[in-house]
Amino acid sequence: MAVHRRGHGPDLVLFHGGMGSWKHWIRNIDALAERFTVHALDHPAYGDSASVSRETTGPAYLELVHTLFVEAFPGDRPLRLAGFSFGAAIATNLARRLGPRVTHLCLVSPGGFPRRIFGERPIRSYKEAGGVARPCSRQSRAISARPARSSSGGRLIGCQAAPKRAVRRSAAWL
């Protein structure tokens, strides 16, 4: 799995959406790298990563991603994960499997979760939050699939697409 790194600080791993590469995050990387060591991934069969068989099933693909991820990020140092669309589904699966090692999980326009009626959504919009992204309670159901909760006190953040200028302010919550 190809990894593009920039910055210094706590590890923040970015997972891109389908039909893309690490460059989905290109406009955010510099701002995030001011506070974090940013690891922008190319999932297997995307971007600069090696291809996989077209017969690979979803569970087999997630197992491959897990194996490659653990090889790329050995040990038990804390990780912050952020995923967009398809990458959010992958980040959620990894967070569940890595348990307390994942201290923060940010999902941007996540894909692969059950449909819900808009009125049932517990997340406030960026505008309602007064211009500052606010974390959801660890007990809240930010995503109906209930992504991993961190036993180390990490936060689950429900994210929505925000203007580029909001990235610096949002990064404070990662």
pLDDT higher for 111 or 15? Answer: 15
- In the chain, the number of structural domains is 1
pLDDT at 19: 83
Instruction: Convert the pLDDT of each residue in 3-53 to its tens digit.
Output: 999 999 999 999 998 888 998 899 999 999 999 999 999 999 888 899 899
* pLDDT of 83 above 70: yes
Enclosing domain of residue 58: 2-171
pLDDT at 24: 87
For 61-88, letters b (16+ CB in 10 Å) and e give: bbebbeebbeeebeeeeebbbbbbbbbb
* pLDDT of 149 above 60: no
pTM across the whole model: 0.68
The rounded distance, in Å, linking the Cα atoms of 167 and 39 is 16
Q: What's the CATH code of the domain at 47?
A: 3.40.50.1820
How confident is residue 119, by pLDDT bands cut at 50, 70 and 90?
A: low
- If you average pLDDT over every residue of the chain, what do you get? 75
pLDDT at 20: 86
pLDDT higher for 25 or 167? Answer: 25
